[in-house]
């Protein structure tokens, strides 16, 4: 998991001595008898672009709203830049938020919307509008400064909202589904623009999203949430390659999950007995005992498909192609094994094959032991 | 509901709605004192109306009452609606909900009688209000009009994206500032509609005003009522025509302005 | 922060508490008094007995009077009857109009809707007055029918129950049409197409799809007509006959003609419990159902 050696490591979360910029400690939020956020601990460092990822209702937005000050934690504490945020109302916090609905004031022009926060700071009108103009230039909207929000397109509105939330140079910018209302193509372009702006200004971002691709592209680190709890925090690569639970493995990307029991655990290899796959070799993992129930997770792209049994393969099964989908750069397969198990595998279409594997063919699937991730929960 | 039945039913319905009003207007230009027998075209009843000091005086009183009641009703109703939609739970919430909606279903005779009895007992124990007149009518009208304003304001406040107010807080505005900078401008059209409704309801009210008014403070509906109770009279037709004319002009202007605003933002 | 919040709550709370809620306590207290010729024209609640001790005068005499006199019972029942019949007629007239407007193409729809609302903005009293000119013995209807030779002698239309029904339906028709219209525009046209696609005739489609789905609109519109109709004073006073008993009119006469404030208060209290309370209860049930 070691990345390339960079002169100065920009990943302070790897440095045990680094001081977190935002510290969420033991935060719980209940509404009546519903627990939206349950005992969350989270440290975020200066300059990060942190993504809170989860399905709707997992508590990610509530956590964001507590950081902004719109909700008070039922228990726990939130510290931003060393300052305890309890009892600090939203208008006094060093944070700004970009709302999912953008929340542009409909009765104010674009310019007025952006200058609003600066005027509340007590800035002189001329100065506030000058700075608002600078900000609008940065998001390439200086020509539309006099327009009202309802005269803008969705993408333009999104940029006004971003400009308005950044113009005060907050220590922390909270973004609630910032790209959720844009269509797919615009969303992809905007993702990179967002990263560029974040790097230019050096503001710490926390982004809430339900879109895993968005989180993978944007984030320095991702916090995967489920039922008000954080399931796993890590860099995108960590989350994808070494998920800590079946939920995370399944939530990020596509995965094949097999249940099994530990049969033999050697220091260099582990054998798992699975009702679906028979005996499978997987990488060793400490702390497992014989007979313990585990799950093996493997990504579709780790499989190799071939018409003949691959030589020397440690894990190989024969099956029939039940479904096949051609998506251009790759093809997806669903292969039914004799045991009844259905395996999702994908092959990149790097070369134009003469006769690609197709429906109803008998094929061999193989996968190296190291491709498996052994999960205990 | 196809074929001839539906258009026919609709046409009859609109005839039912408009025939009496049209005949009211037509006979206001009738020379004969017998309102429903045509005696030739004349505008004499308009002249008579303009010389009628009682009608003119009461019209002035009604306009004053309606103006102040509408203003106060918008304040009370908007605050009530704001408290109910934005303040979450507080003691007395249920009571306020009840008090703000109950006037909508309260028969006018009950509202009028109970308010009169309140004013009488208050005068006996507190010495205020001394007698009844403009003030007591304005108070009474404000109370029942506030309920209508509250309904309109509440539905607008519920529709309004609450993140607008949160965004303003987030950008550094305090709660009072947010109310005047964001909430009020956004719900302003609803408040204008509420004000107009309150103004109309106040101008229109006969029953409540009859209970709570005193000598020398007769509103226009009270004067009209005492006139028409004795039978039809042509100068009332003239008055009705003038009111209908006013409403038509106001509706045409409002429609024109709305269309212009729509074209501007498009 | 908190005192500001309290202040904002206090303004509507106090205004309505004093000028809406408190009057009912006064009403209740005076309904227990006795009418006397004095200013104010009712007995005080507290007084001094001959021996100087404090006495409370309160009696249920007025309520006993209301129970025993058939006039009041009949007035209550006939108010409900008149309101009910008027509501049914308003529904029968209003439904086709609302349906037609909801299905009309856009410029036409707005104009028709405006035409429904327009009369509401003119004076209610003058609209009732307009019917007096229509229904009189030598009014527009009788004159027209006689000149066409359909009838020989004028019909008696004014000062009848029929005139009261017409007046109520006429006055409150927009209140029936608007909620129905609001409901019917929400009705997805695809539902009607689906029903006819599945073989339902227009009549069957209407009875099995449109009508059930518009039930909330029917209930809302009917409430908006029924509620004000039941306490109506002006319409029965101007269009009704001397035998058109309605509770609002009885209360008015008790107060203004008999000058009996305590009995008028008792009539109001009974009206509050018999008419207003059930309506408010019904509404709160309906509101709760809508929230879920």
β-partners of residue B110 are none
* Beta carbons of B113 and C265 less than 8 Å apart: yes
**Would you tell me the crossing angle of helices C215-230 and C70-103 to the nearest 10 degrees?**
140
What strands lie across the sheet with A75-80, from one edge to the other?
A34-44, A22-31, A75-80, A83-84
Asked whether residue C280 is domain-assigned, the answer is no
Q: Which residue has the higher pLDDT, C35 or C84?
A: C84
pLDDT at B41: 86
**Rounded average pLDDT over A263-292:** 84
Cα B15 to Cα B6, C97, C125: the distances in Å are: 14, 12, 19
- As a whole number, mean pLDDT of residues A45-59 equals 92
Give the model's pLDDT for residue C290.
Answer: 65
Q: Is C191 on the interface with B (CB under 8 A)?
A: no
DSSP letter for A19, please: P
Q: What is the pLDDT of residues B197-228, one digit of tens each?
A: 999 999 999 999 999 998 888 999 999 999 88
Residue A289 has pLDDT above 90, yes or no: no
Lookup result for tokens 């409370």: C56
DSSP, residue by residue, C232-247: --HHHHHHS-TT---H
**Which of the pair, A359 or C50, is modelled with greater confidence?**
A359
Asked whether the beta carbons of residue A91 and residue B182 sit closer than 8 angstroms, the reply is: no
Q: What is the mean pLDDT of residues C236-240?
A: 92
Instruction: Render pLDDT for A11-24 as a digit per residue (tens, 0 to 9).
Output: 888 887 888 999 99
How far apart, in whole angstroms, are the C-alpha atoms of residue A102 and residue C60?
Answer: 63
What are the extents of the domains in chain B? 62-220
Q: Is the CB of residue A211 less than 8 Å from the CB of residue A40?
A: no
Residue A134: per-residue pLDDT? 93
Give chain C positions within 8 Å (CB) of B2.
202
A18: DSSP letter: P
pLDDT digits (tens, 9 = 90+) for C48-83: 667 777 777 778 888 988 888 888 889 999 999 999
Cβ-contact A176, A99 below 8 angstroms: yes
Strands ordered across the beta sheet of A221-226: A95-98, A172-176, A204-209, A49-53, A221-226, A229-234
Instruction: Check residues C148 and C51 and name the one with the higher pLDDT.
Output: C148
β partners of residue A40: A27
Closest-CA distance, A62 to chain B, in angstroms, reads 14
Averaged over B71-100, what is the pLDDT? Answer: 93
**Ranges A189-198, A355-364, C161-170, C236-245, most confident:** C161-170
Which chains lie within 8 Å of chain A at 3 or more CB pairs, if any?
A: B
The closest alpha carbon to C238, from A268, B229, A239, belongs to: B229
Nearest to B259 by CA among A43, C206, C111: C111
Do the bridges between strand A204-209 and strand A172-176 make them parallel or antiparallel, or are there none, so unpaired?
A: parallel
pLDDT level of residue A146 (50, 70, 90 thresholds):
very high
**Residue of A96, A148, A168 with shortest CB distance to B265:** A148
Under CATH, which architecture does the A254-375 domain have?
A: Beta Barrel (2.40)
Q: How confident is the model at residue A352 (pLDDT cuts 50, 70, 90)?
A: low
What CATH number does the domain containing C247 carry?
1.10.3720.10
Q: What is the mean pLDDT of residues B20-29?
A: 88
| 3 state DSSP class of A337 | strand
- For residue B182, is pLDDT > 70? yes
> Which residues have CB under 8 Å from B243's CB, separation 6+?
C122, C123, C126
Domain-located, residue C147: yes
pLDDT 10s digits, B243-258 = 889 888 988 888 888 8
Determine, yes or no, domain membership for C77: yes
Nearest CB to B163 within list A89, A99, A148: A99
The pLDDT of A308-337, averaged and rounded, is 88
- Taking an 8 Å cut-off on Cβ atoms, the answer to whether A91 and B265 are in contact is no
Mean of the per-residue pLDDT values of chain A: 89
β-pairing, A49-53 vs A204-209, is parallel
By CB atoms closer than 10 A (0-12, 13-18, 19+), residue B229 is exposed
CB contact under 8 A, B18 and C119: yes
Residue bearing the bigger pLDDT, C46 or C168: C168
pLDDT at B251: 83
- pLDDT score at B1: 45
Chain B contacts in chain C segment 212-271 (CB below 8 A): 227-228, 230-234, 237-238, 248, 251-252, 255-256, 261, 264-265, 268, 271
**Contact residues, chain A, for B170 at CB < 8 Å:** 68-69, 90-91, 93, 95-97, 165
CA distance A314 to A281: 7
Look at chain C and report how many structural domains it folds into.
1
Predicted pLDDT of residue C36: 80
Question: What mean pLDDT value characterizes chain C?
Answer: 87
Architecture (CATH level 2) of domain A8-94+170-250: 3-Layer(aba) Sandwich (3.40)
Instruction: Output the pLDDT for position A37.
Output: 94
CA distance B172 to chain C (A): 16
Question: Which of the residues A61, A106, A131, A132 would you substitute to probe the B interface, choosing the one with the greatest number of B C-beta atoms within 10 Å?
Answer: A106
Q: Which of C21, C40, C202 sits opposite B120 (nearest CB)?
A: C40
Substitution target from C5, C11, C122 for chain B, most B beta carbons within 10 A: C122
Query: Nearest-CA distance from A209 to chain B in Å?
Result: 18
Nearest CA in chain A to B175: A91
Element (H, E) at A264: strand A256-265
| Interface contact C123-B21, CB threshold 8 A | no
Which residues in chain A touch residue B163, judged by CB atoms under 8 angstroms apart?
99-101, 103
Q: Is there a domain that residue C137 lies in?
A: yes
C207/B contact by beta carbon, under 8 A: no
pLDDT for C291 equals 61
Mean pLDDT of A302-316: 87
Interface probe, candidates A31, A69, A80, A103, chain B, greatest B C-beta count within 10 A? A103
Q: How far apart are CA C122 and CA A307, in angstroms?
A: 86
Peptide bond preceding C40: is omega within 30 degrees of 0, i.e. cis? Answer: yes
Average pLDDT for C185-189 = 84
**Whether domain B62-220 has CATH 1.10.3720.10:** yes
Determine the distance in angstroms separating the CA of B90 from the nearest CA of chain A, rounded to an integer. 15
Taking an 8 Å cut-off on Cβ atoms, the answer to whether A97 and B161 are in contact is: no
SS3 A46: coil
Distance from CA of C268 to the nearest CA of B (A): 6
Pairs of CB atoms within 8 A across B/C: 231
Interface of C with B in 54-83 (CB under 8 A): none
| CA A66 to the chain's CA centroid | 20
Residue located via tokens 């009688």: B113
Share of chain A above pLDDT 90, in %: 55
Q: Nearest C-alpha of chain C: how many angstroms from B265?
A: 19
Read off the pLDDT band of A354 (50, 70, 90): low
Mean pLDDT of C33-46: 78
Residue A1's pLDDT band, with cuts at 50, 70 and 90, is very low
Could you give the 3-state DSSP secondary structure of residue A28?
Answer: strand
Kindly provide the ipTM of the predicted complex, given to two decimals.
0.90
Kindly tell me if the per-residue pLDDT of A224 is higher than 90. yes
Candidates B9, B10, B228; nearest CB to C238: B228
Cβ-defined contact of C255 to B211 (cutoff 8 Å): yes
Q: Enter the pTM of the model.
A: 0.87
Is residue C39 classed as helix, strand or coil in its secondary structure? coil
pLDDT score of B127: 82
Asked whether the beta carbons of residue C202 and residue B1 sit closer than 8 angstroms, the reply is yes
pLDDT at position B39? 78
Dump the DSSP string for B144-212: HHHHHHHHHHHHHHHHS-HHHHHHHHHTT--HHHHIIIIIHHHHHHHHHHHHHHHHHHHHH--HHHHHH
Chain B residues whose CB is inside 8 A of the A97 CB are 166-167, 170
Distance CA C31, CA C268 (A): 9
Q: How confident is the model at residue C218 (pLDDT cuts 50, 70, 90)?
A: very high
Contacts of C131 in chain B (CB under 8 A): 20
Nearest residue on chain A to B187, judged by CA atoms? Answer: A107
Q: Do C99 and B1 touch (CB under 8 A)?
A: yes
SS3 A316: strand
Chain C closest-CA separation from residue B248 CA (Å): 8
Share of chain C above pLDDT 70, in %: 97
CB A305 within 8 A of CB A345: yes
In this prediction, residues C228-244 reach a mean pLDDT of: 90
Contacts of C240 (CB under 8 A, 6+ apart): C159, C160, C161, C163, C164, C246, C249
The answer to whether residue B35 scores a pLDDT higher than 70 is no
Answer with the residue of higher pLDDT: C242 or B210: B210
Question: Which helix (H) or strand (E) is C193 found in, with range?
Answer: helix C189-197
**Is the Cβ pair B170, A90 closer than 8 Å?**
yes
What is the extent of the structural domain holding C174? Answer: 70-259
């Amino acid at each position: 998991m070691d990345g390339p050696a960079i002169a100065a490591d920009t990943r302070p979360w790897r440095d045990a001595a680094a001081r977190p910029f935002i510290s969420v400690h033991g935060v719980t939020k209940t509404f009546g008898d519903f627990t939206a956020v349950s005992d969350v601990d989270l440290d975020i460092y200066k300059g990060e672009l942190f993504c809170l990822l989860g399905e709707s209702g997992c508590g990610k937005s509530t956590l964001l709203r507590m950081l902004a000050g719109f909700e008070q934690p039922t228990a726990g504490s939130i510290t931003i830049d060393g300052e305890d945020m309890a009892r600090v109302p939203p208008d006094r916090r060093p944070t700004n938020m970009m709302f999912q609905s953008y929340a542009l004031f409909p009765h104010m022009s674009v310019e007025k919307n952006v200058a609003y926060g600066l005027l509340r700071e007590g800035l002189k009108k001329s100065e506030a509008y000058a700075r608002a103009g600078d900000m609008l230039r940065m998001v390439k909207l200086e020509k539309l400064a006099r327009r009202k929000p309802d005269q803008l397109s969705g993408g333009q509105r999104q940029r006004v909202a971003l400009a308005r939330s950044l113009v005060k140079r907050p220590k922390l910018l909270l973004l609630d589904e910032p790209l959720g209302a844009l269509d797919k193509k615009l969303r992809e372009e905007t993702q990179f623009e967002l990263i560029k702006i974040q790097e230019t200004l050096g503001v710490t971002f926390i982004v809430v999203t339900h879109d895993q691709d968005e989180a993978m592209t944007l984030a320095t680190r991702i916090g995967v949430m489920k039922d008000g709890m954080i399931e796993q925090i890590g860099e995108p690569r960590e989350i994808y390659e070494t998920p800590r639970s079946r939920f995370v493995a399944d939530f990020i990307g596509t995965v094949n999950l097999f249940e099994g029991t530990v049969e033999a655990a050697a220091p260099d290899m582990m054998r798992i007995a699975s009702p679906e796959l028979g005996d499978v070799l997987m990488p060793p993992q400490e702390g497992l005992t014989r007979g313990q129930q585990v799950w093996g997770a493997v990504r579709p792209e780790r499989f190799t498909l071939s018409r003949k049994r691959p030589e020397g393969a440690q894990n190989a099964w024969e099956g029939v192609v039940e479904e096949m989908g051609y998506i251009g750069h790759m093809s997806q397969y669903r292969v039914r094994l004799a045991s009844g198990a259905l395996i999702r595998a994908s092959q990149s279409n790097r070369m134009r094959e003469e006769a690609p594997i197709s429906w109803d063919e008998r094929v061999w699937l193989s996968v190296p032991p190291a491709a498996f991730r052994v999960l205990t929960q | 509901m196809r074929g001839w039945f539906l258009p026919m039913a609709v046409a009859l319905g609109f005839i039912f709605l408009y025939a009496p009003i049209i005949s009211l207007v037509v006979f206001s230009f009738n020379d004969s004192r017998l309102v429903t027998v045509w005696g030739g075209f004349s505008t004499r009843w308009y002249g008579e109306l303009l010389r009628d000091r009682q009608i003119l005086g009461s019209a002035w009183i009604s306009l004053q009452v309606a103006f102040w009641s509408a203003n106060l009703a918008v304040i009370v109703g908007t605050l009530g609606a704001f408290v109910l939609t934005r303040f979450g739970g507080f003691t007395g919430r249920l009571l306020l909900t009840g008090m703000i909606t109950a006037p909508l279903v309260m028969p006018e005779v009950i509202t009028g009688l109970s308010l009169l009895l309140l004013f009488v007992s208050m005068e006996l124990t507190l010495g205020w209000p001394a007698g009844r007149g403009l003030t007591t009518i304005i108070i009474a009208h404000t109370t029942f009009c506030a309920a209508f304003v509250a309904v309109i304001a509440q539905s607008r406040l519920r529709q309004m994206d609450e993140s607008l107010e949160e965004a303003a807080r987030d950008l550094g505005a305090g709660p009072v500032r947010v109310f005047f900078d964001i909430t009020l401008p956004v719900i302003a059209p609803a408040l204008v509609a509420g004000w107009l409704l309150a103004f109309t309801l106040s101008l229109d009210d006969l029953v409540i005003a009859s209970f709570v008014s005193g000598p020398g403070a007769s509103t226009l509906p009270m004067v009209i009522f005492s006139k028409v109770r004795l039978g039809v009279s042509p100068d009332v037709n003239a008055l009705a025509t003038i009111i209908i004319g006013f409403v038509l002009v106001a509706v045409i202007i409002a429609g024109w302005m709305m269309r212009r605003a729509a074209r501007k933002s498009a | 922060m908190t005192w500001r919040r309290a202040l904002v709550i206090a303004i509507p709370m106090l205004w309505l508490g004093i000028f809406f809620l408190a009057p009912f306590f006064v009403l209740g207290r005076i309904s227990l008094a006795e009418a006397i010729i004095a200013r104010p024209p009712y007995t005080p609640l507290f007084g001094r007995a001959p021996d100087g001790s404090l006495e409370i005068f309160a009696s249920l005499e007025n309520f006993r009077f209301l129970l025993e006199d058939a006039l009041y019972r009949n007035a209550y029942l006939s108010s409900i009857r008149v309101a009910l019949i008027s509501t049914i007629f308003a529904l029968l007239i209003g439904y086709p109009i609302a349906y037609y407007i909801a299905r009309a193409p856009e410029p036409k729809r707005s104009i028709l809707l405006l035409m429904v609302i327009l009369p509401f903005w003119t004076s209610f009293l003058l609209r009732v007055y307009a019917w007096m000119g229509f229904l009189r013995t030598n009014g527009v209807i009788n004159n027209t029918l006689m000149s066409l030779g359909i009838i020989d002698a004028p019909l008696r239309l004014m000062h009848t129950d029929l005139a009261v029904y017409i007046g109520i339906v006429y006055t409150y028709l927009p209140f029936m049409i608007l909620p129905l219209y609001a409901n019917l525009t929400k009705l997805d046209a695809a539902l009607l197409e689906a029903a006819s696609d599945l073989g339902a005739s227009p009549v069957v489609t209407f009875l099995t799809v449109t009508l059930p789905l518009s039930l909330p609109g029917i209930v809302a519109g009917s409430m908006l007509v029924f509620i004000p109709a039941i306490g109506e004073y002006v319409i029965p006073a101007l269009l009704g006959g001397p035998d058109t008993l309605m509770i609002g009119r009885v209360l008015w006469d008790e107060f203004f003609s008999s000058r009996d404030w305590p009995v008028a208060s008792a009539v109001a209290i009974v009206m509050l419990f018999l008419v207003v309370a059930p309506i408010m209860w019904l509404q709160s049930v309906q509101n709760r159902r809508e929230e879920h």
